[in-house]
Amino acid sequence: MKRFRTRAIIFSLIVFAMIMSSCAGEKGILPVQLDGIGTDRQGEKIEDHLEDSNTGEVELIPRDVLFADPVRTSPSISPDGTKLAYRLFEDGYDTILVRHLDQDKEDTVVQQPDTPGNYRFFWAGDNKHILILQDYLGDENYHLYASNTETGRIKDLTPYKDVQAMVIGTSIKRPDEVLVALNRDNPANHDVYRVTISSGSLELLERNPGNIQGWMIDDRGHVRGALTTKADGGSDLLVRDNKNGEWRTLISWDYESSNNSAPLGFTRDGRSMLILDSRESNTGRLIRVDTRTGETTVLVEDPQYDVYEVLIDDETYEVQAASFIKERKEWVFFNADTEKAFETISKLNDGDVFFISGSEDDRIWLLAFTSDDEPLSYYIYNSEEDVGTHLFDELPELKDYTLAKTEPISFESRDGLTINGYITFPPGSKRQNLPMILNVHGGPWSRDTWGFDSEVQWMANRGYAVLQLNFRGSSGYGKDFLNAGNKEWGGKMHDDLIDGVNWAIEKGYADPDRIGIYGGSYGGYAALVGASFTPDVFACAVDLFGPSNLVTLLESIPPYWTPILDNYYKRVGNLETEKEFLESRSPLFQVDQIRIPILIAQGGNDPRVKQSESDQIVKAMEEHNLDVRYLLFPKAGHGFSSPDDRITFYTAAEKFLAEHLGGRWQE
């Protein structure tokens, strides 16, 4: 049985999509990504619960349980399969520990950077170093650290001020090295460097000419692929036959195909690449392309959904399985051994499985399961014995409480598009005439999925129905649906949200006088749009890190997003030629239409949506004597990494929502 690895899907617009996504927390896995209002495919299932629901309220879940740091999270297996690293949150400390799986000894504490910030970590190929990417208080200028688990020493491999490090990859054949991209010489461009872990030496390998947004390496650790941006908003995939060869264009994507197309990596022999491609398809399908002849083979596709996750055998580099996120995750298998392994794995947990990492000897796999009414749960699977073992849950205290179920829905928008989403009802209450929160996802080029969400559980536990919609412009549903959102910020994208609210009202689920709109990042913008463009629909709005002026948003993007600015112009609006249009879609210029109270939260260190975006609309509302409450978190970035900040915000938001929607709140 071969080991699986989830290959990172490097979308041509990965940074572009990230800019408006909330970073409140990581789950360990990164995604790649009907018949009239009032009708949905799950209608009968939802209606079945109406008569069976109890009218009694369930126990109030404390905020410090719902929004606590996970007790244990982010497990990672060493390449030799003998050690497990994971994060432990205890007594106010965030610690990386290493457990020796074949030895009966205490876990080893890993030395970490002494500066506060967001971080993630992974094993180096030498089985003794933990590599840590960490920024400073959410500024996203990540440094790469190497922590020696044997000596306890740590070194900053990229000790440069105001420089962002992005890991390109490691190679089994070069265990003492890691390839990183650094914007050290030009803030707008990331060049490629080889870092030697043991010595800390840095060697420049490739200079970015100014249009490259991503680099790829082959099995030998040689840079042989590059993703470039074009003036029309599209992208080109460049390849070369060896590390010193001439670059040539293998595939060219226009901007309409670029957001659900991406290179995944080279095959073992280096002659072919696995790629997500939607040039001749509406959806991102998985193909194999011969880099010398251009010969293309379609491996798997779906007419409605983009490929989400690809599992590749580490020894042969052959595709083992691929997934699609539909209402839930669905898998397609490429061989009998893989399908048999999934039969065992699927019995471990009722949730949807994600593959994290595995050992080089194909023996140990790490899995994560997400479920709507249980916290994220981790398992180890032994492929030789075909046995899985539970490791730990992220928030074990939640096991003592009644959590809500989330169900998929769909309806038809006013102009005929199918809008998919999810609805969560408060447990223990009838599903009629409820106060409801429209919880809008960030991105907007991302999507909501089925699975555990502390925020949704918090809302449902407080007595609210929670509506999550994958409005046009959301990813995962093919390029036609995504491109239907082009230049529709505050336009048809918002119409879809209003159509969803009307759907819930017509179903009888939502009380039309007690509906709130809530969201982070793009969702925060949508909340401001809801308050200013359609104030009669909502009773209140909550905006986290949302832009208020699309002109100043585009003017203030970080320099390293400059290569994707043309794509912004295509999808949001052109800063040079469409300033009036951008202003017409900006809540700041519609402040006089606001008639509902708004709660605004902002990180003072946010590099994506600057503090000025919140400052300016708060000032304008105060000048109009409007009800606005402003929470500024000076040490936060684009999300809440600090538990104190999280609890402060959710305490204020809970009271605010209860005041205006009538839900429960914890004193």
The residues assigned a catalytic role are 521, 606, 638
- Write the burial class of residue 135 (CB in 10 Å: 0-12 exposed, 13-18 middle, 19+ buried): buried
Q: Report d(CA 614, CA 555) in Å as an integer.
A: 15
- Write the burial class of residue 416 (CB in 10 Å: 0-12 exposed, 13-18 middle, 19+ buried): exposed
DSSP letter string over 49-102? HHHH---SPPPPPPHHHHTSPPSEEEEEE-TTSSEEEEEEEETTEEEEEEEETT
Residue recorded with tokens 């998929």: 408
Which residues 6+ apart lie within 8 Å of 222 measured at CB?
242, 243
Which residues 6+ apart lie within 8 Å of 366 measured at CB?
75, 76, 77, 84, 355, 356, 357, 358, 378, 379, 380, 381, 391
**Residue 639 DSSP code:** B
Cβ(263)–Cβ(236) below 8 Å = no
Report strand pairing: 212-217 vs 202-206: unpaired
Cβ(79)–Cβ(172) below 8 Å = yes
Q: Report d(CA 186, CA 210) in Å as an integer.
A: 9
Of residues 498, 493, 365, 501, the one with CA closest to residue 435? 501
Q: Which residues pair with 309 in a beta bridge?
A: 323
Q: Report d(CA 487, CA 75) in Å as an integer.
A: 40
Q: Report d(CA 258, CA 236) in Å as an integer.
A: 9
**Residue 17 DSSP code:** H
What length is written for the chain?
667
Of residues 213, 258, 259, the one with CA closest to residue 475? 259
Cβ(179)–Cβ(159) below 8 Å = no
